[in-house]
Structure 1
Amino acid sequence: MTAAITLGGSDNDAMGPYALVGFAHALPEKSTDLAALLLSFVAPTRAEEGCLEYHFHADKNTPHLFVFYEVWRSQQDLQAHLALPHMQAFLETRMTYLSRDLQIHWLAMHSSYPREIKPSVASDTNR
């Protein structure tokens, strides 16, 4: 199983905010383990420089369905997140927990973002 996640959107979307909603359908017998694992990602992910929003939910009407909502400053920030060792480990082993692969819905933000988005140091040096 590949650890790659194909980032959605066009090159015009590379600068943020870059948002997604993901759906993880757990195997019933792995649901508790997956919930604990995904919950363990929340605090470190929120501490990442490029993370603007990161929320983890359980669907109230569909057992074993977990939903996550993420907003990143840029596509590069999300790529850096996905390259972290704990994320690579999860992506490599995700099908041990899932009844089907992750569903990712890439979002185009039409409303303005409510906070100032400060450019990353890397993007400042590339100008």
Structure 2
Amino acid sequence: MTIVVPETGGPVGVYGFARPRPERAEELERLLLSFVEPTRAEPGALQYQVHRDAADPGTLVFYELWRSADDLRAHLARPELADFQRRRLEYLREDLEIHWLTPLSAPT
């Protein structure tokens, strides 16, 4: 899967589901959490969170809000994110499920 960021002409949001292989679940969780602080410090990062699905604790959910599509593209080009994109199926039992959002209200 190549991640193609849609052009929104403004902020862009994304949420997705990561369903890890059972034997790699803890490793994937640590990896995704390791992205949080550096990502929040990036230009254009308005919100970046990792969650556990309450109904399916084996599923990790991420939510991101970016000032622009270009900011998100720059984030995805960072070496650690590009490496994860290349290697993601080593951790996942199925590919990432990604949903794009066009924010209708400003972040708080």
TM-score tier after normalising by the smaller chain length: over 0.9
Q: CA RMSD in A?
A: 1.3
The answer to whether residue 70 in structure 2 is matched with residue 76 in structure 1 is yes
The TM-score normalised by the length of structure 2 is: 0.93
2:25 is aligned to 31
Any stretches of 5+ residues in structure 2 without a counterpart? none
Query: Which of 11, 14, 22 in structure 1 is aligned with 2:16?
Result: 22
8 A contact 1:27–1:64 mirrored in 2: no
8 A contact 1:59–1:67 mirrored in 2: yes
Larger Rg: 1
Counterpart-to-counterpart distance in 2, 1:20 and 1:72: 9
Equivalent residue of 2:10, what SS? strand
- Superposed CA deviations along residues 41-100 of structure 1, whole A, max 9, x for unmatched, are 000000001100000001122132000000000000000000000001100100000010
Any stretches of 5+ residues in structure 1 without a counterpart? 116-127
User: 4+ residue runs of structure 1 moved beyond 4 angstroms?
Assistant: none
The answer to whether residue 87 in structure 2 is matched with residue 89 in structure 1 is no
Counterpart-to-counterpart distance in 2, 1:55 and 1:35: 12
Query: Would you say how many aligned residue pairs link Structure 1 and Structure 2?
Result: 108
Query: What amino acid is aligned across from residue 48 of structure 1 in structure 2?
Result: E
